[in-house]
Every structure is written in C-alpha cells, then in structure tokens.
Structure 1
C-alpha cells in the first residue's frame, strides 16, 4: 500500500503588517515550519502560540541560511523590504505578496501611494519571485475599491482579508510548478521609498492632496505633520471642510474658524479649507480646537519665525561670549 505524499512545508518571511493574515491563511492549508521576523512582537507571539518556530533575522544572507536549514517546499514572503539574490531564489520556489495591482506600483509604499495618487482601487497580487523588482509571474490578483474617506489603516484591513482569501490557492499553483502569468512590462510603474519626513504637509497644495496625505499616513506609519511655530504637530484626522466659505484672500496654513464644542479647526489650503479634528502635540492627542483657536495662527514652517529664532540664538551666543570674556 502506497503512502500519501508528505504535506508541503512552508517558511514565511514577513516584517510588516501583512504577515499575520498571511500566516493564518497558510496554516489553514499547510505546515508552516518557521516565521522569519525582525522583531519579537505580537505577530511572533501569535506564531509561537500556533506552534510555528520564530526565527529573528533580517539580512538576506541569514534568510538564505534559514531556508537551507528548514528545506521548505516553498518560501512565502509577505512584507519584507530586502532584495533576495538569484542564488537564494534557486533554493526552492519563492512567492511574494505585493499590495498593488502589478505590474503597476512595483516597489514600496504601494498602499500609501494609491491613496496619495487618488486611485480608485487597491489590490493584492501574489507572484513568483524572480530576479528583478516585483516582476515575476502573477499567481493571483484581486482588487478592493478605495473609498473617499479610506485611510491607510482601513485599506490595509480590507487588503489583509483579501490576502487571506487568495494566498492559499496562489501558493498551491506555485507548488504545482506554475510560475504564473507573465506581467506586461510596458504597463509597469514604480513607487519610491517614503520616509517620515515626506509626511510634512504643504499647505499650498490642494485640499484634496492634503486630505489624501493625512489619510495615507497614520498607523502603522508616522503621522502627517506640520508646524505651529517651531513645534511639530501631527495631523491625525481631517477632511475637506463642509463650511462652504470661499476665501478670495487666503494665506495657506492660516486658521480661519474653530469650534471648541465640536473640537475642529478649519485651515486654509492652496485652493480651499481643510477641517482638522484631531492633532498630536508633544505626544498627546488633542482636539484640534484645543490648539488651533486663533485667526492669527498659521501652520507650516515660516521663514520669519526661523529668522527670528536664529536672531535670538545669535543674541544668546553673543551674550555668553561676552560673559566668558569678562571672567
């Protein structure tokens, strides 16, 4: 009597917010022998509770060593921001989960860019990993709409569910020897890396663009931010103002109205008014109107304030130098 084939063994590599749903969906069908994760966090603890070994490594060379050690039938990558060499990819089949409608939006920060660029849809694509950035054959792809008030958090939540729905069949397809449907290189676009400093609000931009920036940031990313004087202010929640006033005279970033009872403050943009509901100042979350409650206040770094600060510093330095000279 012949024995049944061994259950495929999977190693999951993931550092970001898409990894836990990937783990759960893979475990519904296969044995996951290890989770490769950079931090010993809640996702790592969840994996251990499910009996999955957790390997805390980061570099591609260490990933290669672990793949050789575990000898899986397939490696699934979900939220890993390093490039794996061709030598590593030769060890076994590799599958990647990418949150964009490939071949569009290869690269990084794809969910953020989708909101920032006012796209109407986001997607999950599962593809074979080959040398080249996100260029392997597509094993599965599905889309979700981006609503006008979606944030990066609400969009990730829906995309994570979608990943769980399509990932097992995509991996099964790859385990069966299928490399996926080739991507159309003529349709490829790319997203560059985003840094925390890229979240600074330009108040001369359109209301729609400032609103999109606020919605595209926030957990699991740093907030969109601005400055009140020289103090950084995170903008946590905002929307185009429903007030309907038209400002023929405008100073971008100027506070024009507020409601202490409802907590909002209206701020001029390059073409309209943004209503801010919540801000973060010195690590504390506050209603916007608790901070932005004067029509003499303007948001954003202003050259006059920087020059005044430099002048004050020069005065202090001159005073200290004079005092030391007299000693």
Structure 2
C-alpha cells in the first residue's frame, strides 16, 4: 500500500532509504540539514539527501532548528501525512511535530534497542566487540531513542566488518523492515523496549587512540569501529601516526613495545597478543607501508609506541 510520507534525513547513508521509499510511496516533503560550507573553496553545498531529493524533483525543507521554525509544523499539517520516516536526520524532532502524521514518526535505528541508544550505535557495537547487532524500527517519542518498537531483527557481526560496511548492511536490512511496517501500519502493534539500555555517544578524536594495554583483539575491534573517523592512531616521538591498516597477531611483550620491524609490517605488543601495523600515515605525509615508515624513522625493536 502506498503511503503519503515526509522523509527526514541528511547524510549519504540515508540516500538509499529515500530512494527506496520513492519507488513505493509518495514523498510529500524531504526535510534535511541546511546547506553547509564544503570543499576547498568552502562553498555552500546541500547535504547528500538534499542533493538527491533535488535531483528527484522532490520538495525540500532545510530548517536550521526545528524547534525554532514556526513554519515547519504548519507545512507538515497541511500535507496530511500518513507517516514521517527518519534516517540519520541530525536534529531531535520536537514533541510539537511528533503527533502530526497519522501514524507518527518512524525511525530506522541500527542497533537492538534499548542497546546503543544515541548517535553512533554501529561504531560502539564494534568497539565493544559485540558478537551481534541488529536493526530496530521505532516510533519516535520525546526521549532519546526510547520509543516503542514496530519491529526488530538480529544479525551477527562479521569478524572483519568495519563501521561503514556494517552501517550499510544494517541500513539495507532496515529498509526491508521499514517497507513491511509501512505496508501494514493499520494492523501493526508496537511494543515497549525491554532490557537494560546502553548509550552510543558521538565519537571524539581520542576514541581513535590505540590502547596498547588492551588485548590485540580489542585493538582490532576498536580499529574497525572508528572508521572512517577518527580512525586508529598512536604517537611516536610526540607525533601522531594514523594506523590505516592493522591486524591482530600472536606473540607477547610489554604493551606498546615494538617487537619486530619486518619486511612488510611492524609488530607491536598489546596487553594480550600483538598487533601488526600494515599501513600507516604520519602527520603531513601520504599513506605508506608501516615497515617503510619504521625504517625511515630508525624505529628499532624495544622502542615504545604510545
């Protein structure tokens, strides 16, 4: 059944959600973040969703603050919406808007709510080395990801999946679930979230620092979870070095101790096991094999990385 919808989203991750909805439903309005300076010239440019919506000829609104925009509520009321769909919009939807669509606001959240409420659920599930995660289709309420659930599905996390890869896979699963919910809104009953909540705040630069005292498996889990930003990094000689590619390995030593500068990798001791640095990027330089960087800096076994 076709629905009359508003879509709230901003980054490139949300564009496939919008594209899928346009194939089966009427998108009466796309709401996205305002244009921002981008690129070398810092010219104003639309969000990825804003650009995609414009190409599809869809009406677009770009309120700076939903709470302070008196026109957006009137505009939504006049659209006579069945529902609104939210996919990584970037602003909290105020209570004054939540009850406007007939069936409320539906949100695709890439976690098993109430686990990992917040802005970075995929990243923290990986950082914490969770064996599985999932997708929740939720009706928004006034809280932070606290609304009742329409549907929820579990999926194992691959041993080498990175945050962008997992996020895209969860999004695609979420689109299928969302389409099913939209087709049966009249008959679908929501259920409250159950269990102990946990939270997934936005990542900061320090979250990418390699914790050499952690087990090698945990270092690798964090590495996968902090892609593409802030990325994994360590310091040597008071200079930051990005670890673009690394992997866990066997062996033992004092955490952060360089054990071997091999022909292709640099092996560093972790709290349990070791980490092989494969590709690095020193500050102000291009990516390079870790072994080349180490030989260029005269790095020797026994030295410590921080």
Larger Cα Rg: Structure 1 or Structure 2?
Answer: 1
The answer on 1:76 being equivalent to 2:85 is yes
Of 186, 193, 196 in structure 2, the residue corresponding to residue 183 of structure 1 is 193
Does the alignment pair 1:56 with 2:62?
Answer: yes
Normalised TM-score (structure 1):
0.79
Q: Does 1:138 align with 2:170?
A: no
Instruction: Work out whether residues 75 and 94 of structure 1, in 8 Å CA contact, stay in contact via their aligned partners in 2.
Output: yes
Look up the match of 1:211. Answer: 220
Which whole-Å CA distance do the structure 2 matches of 1:132 and 1:26 have between them? 26
**How far apart are residue 190 of structure 1 and its match?**
2.6
* Counterparts in 2 of 1:126 and 1:197: CA distance versus 1, 3 Å: same
Q: Count the aligned residue pairs.
A: 285
- Give the Å deviation of 1:129: 0.8
Q: What's the secondary structure of 2:147's corresponding residue?
A: coil
Per the normalisation by structure 2, the TM-score is: 0.84
**How much does 1:8 deviate?**
3.1
Q: Distance in 2 between matches of 1:91 and 1:278?
A: 51
Counterparts of 1:6-45 in structure 2 under 5 Å? 8-38=3-33, 39=35, 40-45=46-51
Is residue 195 of structure 1 aligned with residue 204 of structure 2? yes
CA offset at residue 152 of structure 1?
Answer: 0.8
In the TM superposition, 1:193-272 aligns within 5 A as 193-219=202-228, 221-241=229-249, 244=250, 246-247=251-252, 250-260=253-263, 263-272=264-273
Over 3 Å counting, the alpha-carbon distance change for 1:67 and 1:237 in structure 2 is farther
1:278 is matched with 279
**Structure 2: how far apart are the matches of 1:173 and 1:64?**
32
Mapping for residues 142-153 of structure 1, pairs under 5 Å: 142-153=153-164
Q: Aligned partners of 1:224 and 1:32: how far apart in 2? A: 40
Contact 1:101 1:125 in 2 (8 A): yes
- Separation in 1 of the partners of 2:287 and 2:60? 35
Point out where structure 1 has 5 or more consecutive residues left out of the alignment: 301-327
Distance 1:27 1:109, change over 3 A: same
Q: Residues 148 and 62 (structure 1 numbering): CA distance in 2 closer, same or farther, change over 3 Å?
A: same
Closer, same or farther: CA 64–254 of 1 in aligned 2, 3 Å? farther
Picking from 86, 108, 119, the partner of 1:97 is 108
Aligned counterparts of 1:191 and 1:160: Cα–Cα separation in 2 = 17
* 8 Å Cα contact 1:208-1:240 kept in structure 2: yes
Superposition pairs for residues 295-314 of structure 1, below 5 Å?
295=300, 297-300=303-306
Cα distance, 1:189 vs structure 2: 2.8
Please give the alpha-carbon distance, in whole angstroms, between the structure 1 residues aligned to 2:24 and 2:69.
23
Counterpart for residue 124 of structure 2: 113
Three-state SS of the structure 2 residue aligned to 1:153 is helix
Sort the Cα spacing of 1:97 and 1:267 in 2 relative to 1 into closer, same or farther, 3 A: same
* Runs of 4+ with deviation above 4 angstroms: none
Measured in 2, the distance between the counterparts of 1:150 and 1:266 equals 22
Correspondence for 1:288: 290
Partner Cα distance (2:69, 2:166) in 1: 29
1: CA distance, partners of 2:52 / 2:100: 28
Checking the alignment, whether the CA contact within 8 Å between 1:238 and 1:278 is kept in structure 2 is yes
**Which whole-Å deviations, capped at 9, do the CAs of 1:147-169 have from their partners, x for residues lacking one?**
11111122122112212211122
1:43–1:74: structure 2 CA closer, same or farther, 3 Å change rule? same
* 1:265-304 residue CA offsets vs partner (Å, 9 max, x unmatched): 211111221012122222522221121342254321xxxx
In structure 2, what is the Cα distance between the partners aligned to 1:105 and 1:58?
Answer: 27
Structural RMSD (CA): 2.4
Partner of residue 307, structure 1: none
